[in-house]
Structures are given as C-alpha cells and as structure tokens.
Amino acid sequence: MKTIFKLALPALLWTAVAVAQANPDAVQLSMYPVQGNIHMLAGAGGNITVQVGKEGVLLVDSGLAPLALKVMAEIRKLTNTPVFFIVNTHVHPDHVGGNEAFDKASASGDVSSNGRVEGDQPLRIIGHENVLNRMTKPTGKETQAPQFGLPVDEYFTPFKDLRFNGEAIILYHEAKAHTDGDTIVQFRGSDVISTGDIFTPAAIPSSISNAAAASRVKSTPSITSWISRFRGTHRKAAPT
C-alpha cells in the first residue's frame, strides 16, 4: 500500500497541472471557513490556507500557476486588505505555482489583482532553504534570468516564527517527510495547522515519517491541507 501511494501521487499531481493548463476557466474554486482567522481555498491544486485580518492576508501555498488570477479573485471576495505573506510548504508546482503572479502583482502595485490598497511593504514569500535551492537549481547556462516568486525569505533552522493578524504563527521544518523542504504551519490563536502534503488520513502513519510532525498534526483540532486524490484535487478541510 505504501509503495502504491508513492507511485500514484506524481501521476495525480501532473493530471491536475494538465487540466488547469488546458482550461483554467473550467476549474471551480471554493472557499471554506475553518475557524478563527483561517479559511481554506480548494480547487487550485493544493489547498490554500488563507489567514485574514486587519493587518492583511497571509497565504499558505499559492496553487497552480494557471489559476493564480482566479485565486486572487476569490481572496478579494473575503477582503480588500493586502496579501503580505506567502508561506510555501514545499516545492511542488501545485503549491508554489501562483508565487510568480502574486510577486509580479506586488512589484507593479497592481491593486486590481492582489488588492494592495495601501502601503509599500513588499510581498514576503517564506520557505525552507531547500525549497529555494530547488527552485534556483542551475540550468547550465552562464546567466539565469531574474526569477519572480522565489521564497527568498528562507529559513534553515528547525523552526521560524512570526506574528500577524494578532496571532503567533510557527513554521516547523520537517526534514524526513514528503520532501526535504516541508514546512508545517501552526496558527496558535486560531488553533489550526496547515500541513501541505505531509498529512493524509488514508496513509497515516506512512506519510509522516517524522514523529514530531505526526505529534503536531494529531494534537491540533483542525487540519487545512490534505493530500491529493482523484484527479489531483485535495480533500476538503474538516475538524478532527
């Protein structure tokens, strides 16, 4: 069973990418309230955690690249406050694909798309250093064109913390997990954990090889990002 799960996941991922690229207008996105400051946006590849408050918006992952404008539009239905942070849980394209569009909109001050209604604070994209290393892997050319959407606010320590919208947010690096750059995001005030592709109900405990990661997942009432299933969609959040 464990082997089948590992072989099937890449096929599901690339199916989701192909569908989004072929006809992004046909993809339906849905926003669900979780609890506290947290919502979950489903249908953009990997589930996107959306933290909303007076200070602005923080996203955990950004979905597939072809769906970035639709993601922005769904966020605008919740709030007109700026998107100030994106946290990437890992390097796969259904989790980092929208980075570039958000970054370019931030750099251009494009209020219509990402809602940066005031201030000049740049968008901060956060990820473990292994995510940045993989996204900037040399191509063999002498020079590489400047890249938008990189998690240049990287961390290399076991955890990183910040405070936004009135709650502490802790990022934990899980080295022996889905990839070598996985991050679990814990929203302390809302009591929600966003796990990226580390957690799946169908594969516990095989999808979590790090005991500390498993403990954090199981001790928090709400999980907002579940693993791929049929046609690359991700399961809807539910209290546990």
The CATH number covering residue 178 comes to 3.60.15.10
How many Å apart are CA 33 and CA 224, to the nearest integer?
10
Can you read off the two tokens belonging to residue 172? 């934990």
Domain that holds residue 121: 2-135+147-239
Can you read off the two tokens belonging to residue 125? 């994209």
Candidates 49, 112, 106, 121; CA nearest to 80 is: 112
Instruction: Kindly state the average pLDDT of the residues 56-73.
Output: 93
The answer to whether the beta carbons of residues 237 and 223 sit under 8 Å apart is yes
142 found inside a domain: no
How many Å apart are CA 117 and CA 86, to the nearest integer?
17
Global confidence as pTM: 0.77
Can you read off the two tokens belonging to residue 87? 């946290």
CB atoms within 10 A of CB 191: 15
Candidates 224, 45, 59, 197; CA nearest to 126 is: 59
Instruction: Kindly state the average pLDDT of the residues 167-196.
Output: 89
141 found inside a domain: no
How many Å apart are CA 128 and CA 16, to the nearest integer?
24
127 found inside a domain: yes
The better pLDDT of the pair 49, 230 is held by 49
112 found inside a domain: yes
The better pLDDT of the pair 72, 22 is held by 72
The answer to whether the beta carbons of residues 23 and 201 sit under 8 Å apart is no
State yes or no: pLDDT of 146 exceeds 90: no
Domain tally, the chain: 1
